[in-house]
Amino acid sequence: MPLLIREAAVCLPGRTGMMVVMPLTRSEATARAAIIDVHSYEVHLDVTTSGDTFGSRAVVRFGARPGSSTFLEFEPVAISSMTLNGSPVPSGSASDGRLTLADLAEENELVVEATMRYSNDGEGLHRYTDPADGNVYLYQHLFINNGGRVLPCFDQPDLKASWQVSVSAPADWKVATNGELVSHEAGEWRFAATKPISTYLASLFAGPFHAVTDEHDGIPLALYVRAALAEHLDRQAEELFTITKQCLDRYHEMFEIRYPFGHYQQAFAPEFNFGAMEYPGLVVFRDEMIYRSAVTDSQRESRANVIAHEMAHMWFGDLVTMAWWDDLWLNESFAEYLGTRVAGEATRFTGTWTTFAMQRKAWGLRADQHPSTHPVAPVEVRDTEQALLNFDGISYAKGAATLKQLVAFVGDEAFLAGLNEHFTAHAYGNATLADLLGALAKASGRDLSGWAEVWLRRAQVNTLKLALSPARVEQTAPADHPTLRPHKIGIGLYDRAADGTMVRRSLLPVEVEAAAQTLVPRLDEEAAADLVVLNDGDLTYAKIRLDEASTAAVPTALPLISDSLARAVLWAATLDAVVDGERPVAELVTLVLTALPVESEVVIVEDVLRATRSLVDRYSTPETRPAALELVTQAADRLLAVSEAGGSRQLAAARGLIGATSETGRLRGWLAGEGVPDGLAIDADLRWLILYRLVVLDAAGLAEIDEEFARDRSATGAQWAARCRAAVPTAEAKAAAWQAIVSDVSLSNRLVEMTASGFWHPEQLGLLASYVPRYFAEMPAMMRVRGGMSAERTAGYAYPELAVDAETRRLAAELLAREDLDPILRRVVQDADDDMRRAVDARF
């Protein structure tokens, strides 16, 4: 090891509200990769000190073109020493989030000791104090461009290296990382070197957490959670391990390369920005996925899907990593598709494609129609700032739906063969769209370049509409994105049976041409059906419109169809038509009242109630909204009355009723244990939901919130309390909440997001009128003190989407005209304004 030359500590500002960090551009990354080959990171973190900083010592070994210069991402608070190949590096080399190095040798060793800052925004090394017991927990999240907040590193996905981590921690803590544990003694933890991984995949979880361990097929398994959630993890560990083992087995059946990263640990972290993150060897989830209250089966299915999704990343993203962020779809689209597929094939949750049709695909369709739309695989992602914006419904859900369509075209055997060839060719390395298409083309014997051009390289969505006499599928595209695509779909013909149910008589396979219309002569040969379902089986990604007779038949036919996926297709098409203003929200509310009380699929119940409530709040006028909400309440009440006691439908119905009702006496009674339906547990989370609605209706206030928080002094309780305080309909409460949203950097990511999510309510628009212009005036400053995903979420939650009028749109246009507008805020406002355009059109 070279001699360490110490210099006087150099103090630098931390990122929060201070340091200007330049995004990494693609051209910079390409140039750096041409001269740099990173071998390893040897990292020691000292987290034993109190306060808001920690110690970091890094040894970075890398090859380079002799005599060249480069830079590493690095955001220190203070530098104790820096040496390159044994010689001091000038302290001035570190500025603006970068450490510049000159006159490199063929082989180099950089050694840096520095003081770094903990974060409270879910990025870098996040520090959290549990309100339940005062315990402190840390987790590391270096995602996209945050590696420099922990150590100097070459922070781009195609510069992979081995990581060897050691940690000095308080004696009563536990520590877990990507690498397998080598030793721990007296607060010193050492871990084995990893296989080559990208910087954004380096993980760490530390604190006095509770652990449960197991083993499967030679793979050590572990679950980690905060001590306050230990009893809940112990109750759920068997289910979590069972799902993990089932998914591992299924992936091993599909893929020739076994799970490649040694142990498989899963940590549940507080205030995690994503639902989960695929760190190899140590997957991290939001710890809300360790349930402390009653949940529905659809929530458990969602958790199983996330487990399967993150496990898919062990191959797509971790073993083989995109070369740059323009191929993000190679990570997320595949994980979304395979997670949905494997959870449905391997676990007890067999209805995952129904959930996909209702939830995820709708997310993709909305994102794809916004002004910010982009291709699944864009040709160019200019920098890491733009890359962050592409983590959306297009890269996830549209990409997954596109892959489902691809499998329908090439066949499953060829699809899996192509994936296996791809893994073998690029294991522990990086790959591009061309690499994967080459492997799939070879396995299927088909040229996929034309398919990829229209499905992956071009944005926006097609609408498929069924017309009769003669039978044909009409395809349209938006004028500014006029691409027509081939679609392989099914058309289902349904008849009313003697017992009153709707039975599918036949399913016609149809290959829709990339043309304005495709004739379907087989449908003309069939006897007339009571209902014809276009895209039955949900094979393609498109907006679906039925023929006129089938549209008219939906209200009576929908409750009689036994196939949940077919019902999801019909519900999704109905909701989408209302969003587009093709059908009035009053018609949707009537359908909800007649059809939803007999719906057996919980995810359909939950999503229809959620989407309908949102549409009623934004598309109904102030005069018609109360009546519409009353019908939604009646629908939930009817469902509640016929649901099995203690079952998922009962809980979903109760939540829907609480969110829609204005009957405060009933809600107060439930809180007091009076009039509660048999089997419905008024547990901690349901109590908060009831109290939140009472606060919105001005039937409870700060005293009741404080009392409830004293009863539930937990992490979730703190978040609910923040949301409820923001909902209090007084000028003082709104002023305090707004100050927290726009300028209180002491608040953690989750608390500020919950505050923003509780601010706007239709019942309070008179009180909130002054905050509409304040959003557009003050949100740019908020973006200067917060960053990343938390800033994006806060700006989105705080948007005045309920102030549906032309003046809100004028203010949005005025803000968007600014050339200096933060790109994250620009996207939030663009897309929210587009949603408001639809709402204004629907109202007026």
Nearest Cα residue to 778 out of 787, 767, 770: 770
623 as an active site residue: the answer is no
Q: What is the DSSP string of 370-418?
A: STT---SS-S---BHHHHHHT-STIIIIIHHHHHHHHHHHH-HHHHHHH
Start-to-end C-alpha separation, the chain: 73
Q: How many CB atoms lie within 10 A of CB 18?
A: 14
- With residues binned 3-state (H G I as helix, E B as strand, rest as coil), the percentages for the chain, rounded to 5, are 45, 20, 35
Q: 419 burial class (0-12, 13-18, 19+ CB within 10 angstroms)?
A: buried
Q: What is the DSSP string of 175-191?
A: EEESSPEEEEETTEEEE
Residues contacting residue 819 through CB under 8 Å, at least 6 positions apart:
none
- What tokens were used for 724? 């409820």
Q: How many CA atoms lie within 13 A of 398 on its CB side?
A: 30
CA dist., res. 419 & res. 401, Å (int) = 17
* Cα→Cα distances 657→293, 606, 627, 692, Å: 18, 11, 14, 13
AA identity, residue 570: L
* Cα→Cα distances 397→181, 332, 386, 830, Å: 36, 9, 19, 21
Q: Which of 109, 113, 301, 310 is catalytic?
A: 310
Kindly compute the dihedral angle of the four CA atoms of residues 253, 259, 265, 267, in this order, to the nearest 10 degrees: -80
Phi then psi dihedrals of residue 213, to 5 deg: -120, 160
Phi then psi dihedrals of residue 541, to 5 deg: -105, 105
Report the DSSP pairing between strands 70-73 and 98-101.
Answer: antiparallel
Whether 265 and 283 have beta carbons less than 8 Å apart is answered as: yes
CA dist., res. 334 & res. 397, Å (int) = 10
What three-state secondary structure class fits 85?
Answer: coil
Residues identified as active-site: 310
